[in-house]
Structure 1
């Protein structure tokens, strides 16, 4: 490869999933030792693009992709991640792929272990070479040291804090001697501010040694501080490519959105009235890895839209997961004055609550079943909806026609892009899967609906639709909604009050109309609210 030849060149790359176009005509280049920031809203196509580059099987199982990819001057089309790794492309995904029972050393050197000779090799060949653990430990320590962090190579990954797990993932890619291009997908999302600074310094050092980096992040200031240039994706298209020295955070945000997202604030003069307290939470703790809740208390009034916000890893996601029984929890929760039994998901549903999880694939959906079955399943199991009794109830029959009518209603209302109600959930894009999760909860018609990250993975144009749909259900059916989101402005656009979670506790509860600076101070731990003030705010 000539010195002035880009290490990576994409020409008119596109991708369709089951008739839904998610990438169109994507083209850009990346030079040796260059750091490129790839940014865009959730659902813009970043993850799909990296799956294509890394040869993920789902791409070829769904018809391949359009366009051409050139790596080191030659055209490539990797059929598996192993081919990409052999070519010199490393990737650190958002989800950890570490083996919990292995040490840092064993995870970093997995499938590339150092071995040594012994006499049995003469009889049984190289298959009986033994692990050279001292050399392996030295290699792991060298890769860790490159990152500038202190991690004991002998520590089990199951015992590591989440930040150290992220550094172990990156060290694994650094140890590969042939890595020429490293893709980092939201690498600082689970890191503290100081850890993020260490990582950024390490990435700069890798680039100085000639390694090219694609850095995907929602933290736009980090992108500007670290990267040489940015590529902005919106709705599957490259809408801007620019040097970071020439741009601001505000400009990048504008390119990502393309237009100012219409605010969903209530109309001027609208008067909101609420009933008595419907949900009371006292001293709740939840053992959810990465989102530990230590001591949370709040009250929600009937008909209210109550928001829960805060920085990543502070516990905001653990609250709904604990109340709905998905993770071990303790404390006291009451619905309409009646105690809710924790650690009992079915009991929470039968009591009149529903949950749209942030983990739509792991918790929210039956991936191999149709859209109609996904929407109806919970209501059938808990409330016996869509069931026709025969012979005085001795025989019960599923009402497939009613299920299909219900599915078609929500497909239209939420603008779910699909071939029909029988299409399997696994075949839908992430955003449309999220909409199916919402519909499933709406079908139950709960008294209290918990929704976590309801617009994650949904394109910008559909966000307003989802938020307006939540508001409409709140108005028309009196449904009380507790909404958790990482986006403060999203919470302010729909909620009546917002609680900010910091270090597993409620830092404060403010009306949605409060200045954004006050929310920011709560998130950063700059304001400490006394227990008495918290109780008063909750009421």
Structure 2
């Protein structure tokens, strides 16, 4: 760093942090200039989110013993002990797990703690405490921030029920609306977005940088790094293992630095046997009332032994299909497995019939965050199949937890899925996002299902863990003959492992493509224009 230190908005020097006896940051230094997009990449558990929490003064840092090292902001040493301190300096943060109030409108979320007040008769007589909200001025500010992001949405809509893609833009609009913002931290901002929305977001980031705002950008999508970053810092196991300018970077180079091994981007041939034409799951006229992901009459057959992909843009209903079949949202229609009708709106019945589900909402649905890894992995099979229970004194009607079997089971999956943890008794809350996701997959696999539904299985997971998860799905499919239905916003991932891909548009199946079909066909189908385009060609 030969330049004058005042050319940086923020400088981190030798930052170190320990959690629960694990050193998660080991002497990390980096600096961001005004108008620079600085990407921070690394495997799950590399320390990226911890670094961001330190910059933003998050309570979790100080409730676990603080950190060592120095932070300089605009050339001056600073102590950031709370998010309030960070915001006063001009630091904003857009989180991967949303920090929005669902009962409030978009405008109220954008203007939260910065509400605009106006005088009224009472306030003029009794003082400023009786001022009322200037809703018109607040809506005007909110609309301006949304427009800057290309968001054409009513700013007075409630946040509850919005598609996740919209929520992400509301988070960003809230930060843009702050007048003094100098540094914006984006923590996996595109993890929940479809490809078209992600492009809009990257454009918005470039627009913000052009205004002189410094941006720290954490992402697992390395192509996005190449598209927008000026400089890149790579973390591995809590250490800075490299930094490079955009001109020096490539996906292969970053991936190799991140995981310490070469990662092939070439799709490997799975070498699997020809798929059966036997229908294992038949879905007819399925409607699912899932806010933001409504399903409006889906008809779909799943063949035994295939990996079927379900893709589509955010908000079109792809997420709703598995959630409806597994009974997490109100559904109507008919679902048959091997010709036998499965009762809808009953998660237990779905699991008893050989279906298992890894939800896209790992924190809300899949995990008991304050329980151990081993209990989380075992609980579903315990409740549905009576596994991991042993009779008390030979009495079959009184069962106790078989702790030895629970432990053995957990150790097996920790090894098989490479779950990074201190051991099977560690609380699931203490794991990084990607490792929590691996616990969710283990929990589903213990049920030994015939059909495994996985929804956004690599969301928020680093490139190495993504490959592990995708390879694992292929392995389950090849070696155990498990039928897999994978819903994902990552079209590239669907094309890399699926036999067929069903594209959802406006709550229905727009069509089914082969992974080898053209980008144009996929693009037209996702935009809902495939059928009309085909008709034009026929004419």
**For this structure pair, what is the TM-score category when the shorter chain's length is used for normalisation?**
0.7 to 0.9
Distance (Å, rounded) in 2 between the aligned partners of 1:407 and 1:196: 36
Tell me if structure 2 keeps the 8 A contact 1:496–1:512: yes
Distance (Å, rounded) in 1 between the aligned partners of 2:344 and 2:73: 53
Within the alignment, does 1:294 sit opposite 2:296 as a pair? yes
1:375-417 CA-to-partner distances (Å, cap 9, x unmatched) read 2111111111122235653322222222222222222322323
Q: Higher mean Cα deviation, 510-519 or 282-291? A: 510-519
Report the counterpart of residue 311 of structure 2 in structure 1. 309
Report the counterpart of residue 385 of structure 2 in structure 1. 383
Question: By how many angstroms is 1:338 displaced?
Answer: 0.9
Question: By how many angstroms is 1:281 displaced?
Answer: 1.4
Which of 267, 279, 282 aligns to 2:281? It is: 279
Distance (Å, rounded) in 1 between the aligned partners of 2:81 and 2:219: 26
For residue 31 of structure 2, give the secondary structure of its aligned residue in structure 1: strand
Report the counterpart of residue 351 of structure 2 in structure 1. 349
Distance (Å, rounded) in 1 between the aligned partners of 2:147 and 2:494: 41
Distance (Å, rounded) in 2 between the aligned partners of 1:95 and 1:119: 42
Report the counterpart of residue 452 of structure 1 in structure 2. 455
Distance (Å, rounded) in 1 between the aligned partners of 2:460 and 2:495: 19
Question: By how many angstroms is 1:433 displaced?
Answer: 1.7
TM-score w.r.t. length of structure 1: 0.82
Tell me if structure 2 keeps the 8 A contact 1:186–1:218: yes
Within the alignment, does 1:35 sit opposite 2:37 as a pair? yes
Report the counterpart of residue 83 of structure 1 in structure 2. 85
Distance (Å, rounded) in 2 between the aligned partners of 1:462 and 1:195: 24
Aligned length: 529
Matches within 5 A, 1:14-413: 14-20=16-22, 22-39=24-41, 45-116=47-118, 127-133=129-135, 135-137=137-139, 139-140=141-142, 143-144=145-146, 153-158=155-160, 165-187=167-189, 203-204=205-206, 206-217=208-219, 226-233=228-235, 236-244=238-246, 259-261=262-264, 265=268, 268=271, 270-272=272-274, 274=276, 276-390=278-392, 392-413=395-416
1:233-285 CA-to-partner distances (Å, cap 9, x unmatched) read 555554554444666677767766762248784565x5345473221112323
TM-score w.r.t. length of structure 2: 0.82
Distance (Å, rounded) in 2 between the aligned partners of 1:453 and 1:201: 24
- Output the aligned Cα RMSD: 3.9
Taking structure 1 as reference, are residues 217 and 15 closer, same or farther at Cα in structure 2, changes over 3 Å only? same
Matches within 5 A, 1:410-421: 410-421=413-424
Distance (Å, rounded) in 2 between the aligned partners of 1:285 and 1:173: 37
Distance (Å, rounded) in 1 between the aligned partners of 2:150 and 2:419: 46
Tell me if structure 1 keeps the 8 A contact 2:17–2:67: yes
Question: By how many angstroms is 1:90 displaced?
Answer: 1.1
Taking structure 1 as reference, are residues 25 and 504 closer, same or farther at Cα in structure 2, changes over 3 Å only? farther
5+ residue gaps, structure 2, are 535-539
Tell me if structure 2 keeps the 8 A contact 1:189–1:312: no
For residue 323 of structure 2, give the secondary structure of its aligned residue in structure 1: helix
Taking structure 1 as reference, are residues 370 and 178 closer, same or farther at Cα in structure 2, changes over 3 Å only? same
Taking structure 1 as reference, are residues 293 and 239 closer, same or farther at Cα in structure 2, changes over 3 Å only? farther
Report the counterpart of residue 512 of structure 2 in structure 1. 509
1:286-306 CA-to-partner distances (Å, cap 9, x unmatched) read 333343333332222333333
Matches within 5 A, 1:433-512: 433-512=436-515
For residue 327 of structure 1, give the secondary structure of its aligned residue in structure 2: coil
Distance (Å, rounded) in 2 between the aligned partners of 1:172 and 1:261: 39
Taking structure 1 as reference, are residues 22 and 528 closer, same or farther at Cα in structure 2, changes over 3 Å only? farther
Distance (Å, rounded) in 2 between the aligned partners of 1:523 and 1:459: 26
Distance (Å, rounded) in 2 between the aligned partners of 1:474 and 1:530: 35
Question: By how many angstroms is 1:339 displaced?
Answer: 1.0
